[in-house]
Homo-oligomer: A and B are copies of this chain.
Amino acid sequence: MSAHAFLGLAATGEAGRYQLPIHPGLCVGPAGNAFMFGGVGLGAAVAAAEHATGRPLVWASAQFLSYARAGDTLDLAVEVLNGGRNVSQLRVMATDAGKPIVSVNAALGAREGFIDDQWAAPPADMPRPEDCADMAIWPPQDGGAAFMHRLEVRVAPGRYGATPRDGRRSPDGRQLMWMRTVEDAPVDAAMLAVMADFVPSGLAAAFGTPGGGNSLDNTLRIVRLVPTRWVLCDIRIAGSGQGFGHGAIYMFAEDGTLLASGSQSVILRFVPERKGA
């Protein structure tokens, strides 16, 4: 039984157990090094947690422990730590043949009678997706890494981080991108978990450098889901120190509703030269 169509997450016969077969459509990476996109790991854990509890996600935090590759199958185990009247707190461990790949802590729930509000907003002059251009800054991908072909990404040319990576530092550390899946899959919490993993791209834009980094974590906070085709990803880099970069992402529906926020810490790979972890 499918627990998430875009990711291909399958419920097993056992309660709280799910499987995610890794195929090229879930992988990214340069020639010779295709691996599962980190956000896919958080997305699968979020979908499993929502399916297992029947509750909507509030917050989830993924710790990336190792890589998965095409041909692997992730086993996801949902362990409920607190099953309250309105809030479930749990952990999801994703393993490949027993090897830990991603560990996710999360809380789920919905409570009636409170006020929906938002203070975060995108810049008023960000053009709509139809007035933007396809983003062409991704590094060339391995033949077995097709995830980026499933995404459409549009940027405002020459603005908001869509500038040549010629070493010039961004003055504001901000990168804005419209994203949707080519399949037009629903924008749910799992999809926002996937999109939240683009902070490394914003770090490269902030430093004005090609390349990226390796995420240590991927943290997602769902504010309010409304139907939307495109998601405006507003990445705001905070800073870097001791060889790591840190940033946040705010994700908006086409009507301006704040859907979710996210944040990540990243092992820098590009300043001033490539280094091993």
Residues of A at under 8 Å CB distance from B? 56, 58-59, 61, 63, 65-66, 81-82, 84-87, 89, 91, 100, 103, 105, 107, 109-120, 169-170, 172-174, 206-207, 216-217, 219, 221-224, 236-244, 246, 248, 250, 258, 261, 263, 265, 267-268, 271-273, 275-277
Pick from B87, B241, B244, B277: contact of A85, CB below 8 A: B277
CB within 8 Å for A65 and B91 given contacts A59-B216, A244-B58: no
- In the assembled complex, how far is the CB of residue A36 from the closest CB belonging to chain B, in whole angstroms? 17
B223 touches A241 (CB 8 A): yes
Contacts of A81 in B (CB 8 A): 63, 65, 100, 103
**Complex contacts, A66 vs chain B, CB 8 Å:** 82
B86 in contact with A243 (CB, 8 Å)? yes
A88 to chain B, nearest CB (A): 11
Q: A271 CA to B59 CA in the complex, in Å?
A: 20
CB-CB under 8 A from A173, the residues of chain B are: 119-120
| A-B contacts, 15 listed (Cβ < 8 Å) | A91-B103, A105-B217, A111-B242, A111-B268, A113-B275, A114-B240, A114-B243, A115-B271, A117-B239, A117-B240, A119-B170, A119-B238, A120-B239, A221-B265, A238-B258
